[in-house]
Structure 1
Amino acid sequence: MSVSIDPAFQQQLTGYRLATAEIVYHLPDYPDLLQQFIWQHYDLAPDFPRLKQFLDYWETNIEGRLHSVRLARTEIVTAAEARAVGGLFTLH
């Protein structure tokens, strides 16, 4: 029997973490207005090469000038959170 392992889980075992970037940029036609874009991918902290590659691509190929980038990431793989159940309800 062959066991299939999720590629995202394999990446996490090698140091990758889910990184989420909030990218705020100026609209090309209305530079005084800001727009938000959310980018999410598995990446390596603290250098975040995938995010840097994406931002380099943005600056060279997309007209909207970057305003700011905020980054959040998950911690290492942890066991699922468990809690006691206070009751059992049955629905018909």
Structure 2
Amino acid sequence: MTSRDFIVQLQGYGLTTAEISYYMPDHPRLIQLFVWQTYDVAPQFPVLRDFLDHWRREIEAALHSVRVAHNHLIAPAEWRAVDGVITIN
């Protein structure tokens, strides 16, 4: 059986890591960090946008900033042409 993570990677999703800086309303000078990872599609990031919309609606913590890193884990192999012939006896 194929894992869901592998299937979404084949569909073009890559690993997205979001570092979310936020503060609680009762401590506005104290910025806290929350790191979140999921598979998402760059550059639109629909899954991350849904998560941040949920955060704004349901969580009392106010967002300060969001840093995003994204990487496709499945990509074409890198190769380079070699000019010559190698003979092994």
Same fold (TM over 0.5): yes
Q: Where in structure 2 are the equivalents of 1:37-76 lying within 5 Å?
A: 37-76=34-73
User: 1:43 deviation in Å?
Assistant: 0.7
Q: Secondary structure at the match of 2:32?
A: strand
In structure 1, runs of 5+ residues without a counterpart are: 80-92
User: What does 1:13-92 correspond to in 2, within 5 Å?
Assistant: 13-78=10-75
Gaps of 5+ in 2: 77-89
Inter-partner Cα distance in structure 1 for 2:49 and 2:75: 27
| Percent identity over paired residues | 50
Q: In proportion to residue count, which structure has more strand?
A: 2
Aligned match of 2:3: 6
Let me know the Cα RMSD of the aligned residues. 1.7
AA of the residue aligned to 2:72: E
Q: Match of 2:29, as an amino acid?
A: D
CA shift digits 1:62-82 (9 cap, x unpaired): 111100000001124048xxx
Q: C-alpha separation between the residues in 2 aligned to 1:50 and 1:73?
A: 13
| Paired positions, count | 77
